[in-house]
Amino acid sequence: MNIGDAARASGVSAKMIRYYEDIALLPPAARRASGYRDYGADDVHRLRFVRRARDLGFSIEEVRELLSLWHDKSRHSGDVKALASRHIAALHSRIDALRNMAATLETLVDCCAGDSRPDCPILADLSGDGGRCPP
Amino acid sequence: MNIGDAARASGVSAKMIRYYEDIALLPPAARRASGYRDYGADDVHRLRFVRRARDLGFSIEEVRELLSLWHDKSRHSGDVKALASRHIAALHSRIDALRNMAATLETLVDCCAGDSRPDCPILADLSGDGGRCPP
DNA sequence: CTTGACCTTCCCATGATGGGAAGGTGCAAG
DNA sequence: CTTGCACCTTCCCATCATGGGAAGGTCAAG
């Protein structure tokens, strides 16, 4: 299986597959005589794992840990759970940060006339003319 | 006022102030005879504006638009409101993406024993052993 | 006049991804 | 066989916003 097929089968771009190999997230791929990388079902399986973990927002380094836990048949599920829980906490703090931004902006947008006049509580807030915009 | 003082007064690091000038987000700073940049109250005011906008999650390019609207005394508040509304929508889609990740992970974490045994629904899910983990 | 805190510019690194160039391979149709 | 096209290889560059640090100049207090 060429890299392009592996990419299509796993949902990871060929570019990324090479990159993951380069940073040793994945073991060096087998090579044909031509130098082409050659992938099998196991490789695609691992790629799908990586893809799924990335889709869940794990960083490359976290995926590295997940892969090593996955391959370790004597792992403790507690270690996986701890890693996932840490990630969930990180997600929640990012969510909170974004929600705070959105809430602030929504308040400002709600009291902006949004017409052709220049007066704008959004700009007023940004420029530090502390809020005369209570909702 | 030296760049360090402006940095402390605005909450924007000296490094970033130079960078913002470099990419023309800010006009070139005045210079003393020594070559040192020299900042006044207006500059600090603009820096605070940028800082606040960045804190609300606006990209540099969006801040550029906001600054130009701010300086344009004949702006239409509708333009500001539209920009802010677009940004709010973008924030919400990022929030949704993160919340979906967190929700999926929470389900998995909830049915992971988290002890010293190796069986783990989190890894099972990642490896594509489609969910025998209904909450 | 020395010392230490500041300033200048310049280059490099991050994280994860994409773009593209230059050149080699593989396969099907002519 | 040769041509053509789709694919592969490596290598370098760009993104976005920020920080780190080196080499060298400046300022103010002691």
| CB-strand contact A24/C, under 7 Å | no
User: What are the beta bridge partners of residue B38?
Assistant: B30
Whether the CA torsion B63, B67, B72, B76 is positive or negative: it is: positive
Which residue type does A3 have? I
CATH class name, domain B3-75 = mainly alpha
Query: Any idea where the domains of chain A sit in the sequence?
Result: 1-57
Q: Tokens 């800010």 map to which residue?
A: B26
Tell me how close the Cα of A81 comes to any Cα of chain B, in angstroms: 6
Burial label for B48, CB within 10 Å (0-12, 13-18, 19+), is: middle
Looking at the domain A1-57, which fold is it? Multidrug-efflux Transporter Regulator; Chain: A; Domain 2 (1.10.1660)
Per-residue pLDDT of chain A (135 residues; tens, 9 = 90+): 999 999 999 999 999 999 999 999 999 999 999 999 999 999 999 999 999 999 999 999 999 999 999 999 999 999 999 999 999 999 999 999 999 999 999 999 999 998 999 999 999 999 988 766 776
Give the up-direction half-sphere exposure of residue B70: CA atoms within 13 A in the CB hemisphere: 22
Alpha carbon separation from B74 to A26, A117, B5, B82 (Å, rounded): 57, 8, 33, 16
Query: Which three-class secondary structure state does DSSP give residue A19?
Result: helix
Which residue type does B103 have? A
Each residue of B76-103: pLDDT tens digit? 999 999 999 999 999 999 999 999 999 9
Give me the phi and psi of B73, to 5 degrees please: -70, -15
Q: Do A81 and B123 touch (CB under 8 A)?
A: no
Q: Which residues of A touch B77 (CB under 8 A)?
A: 112-120, 122
Between CA B129 and C1' D18 the distance (Å) reads 40
**Closest protein residue to D27 (Cα–C1'):** B34
What is the bridge-based pairing of β-strands A37-38 and B30-31? Answer: unpaired
Q: Which residues of A touch B73 (CB under 8 A)?
A: 118
Query: Count of A–B CB contacts within 8 Å?
Result: 160
Q: Is the pTM of this model over 0.85?
A: yes
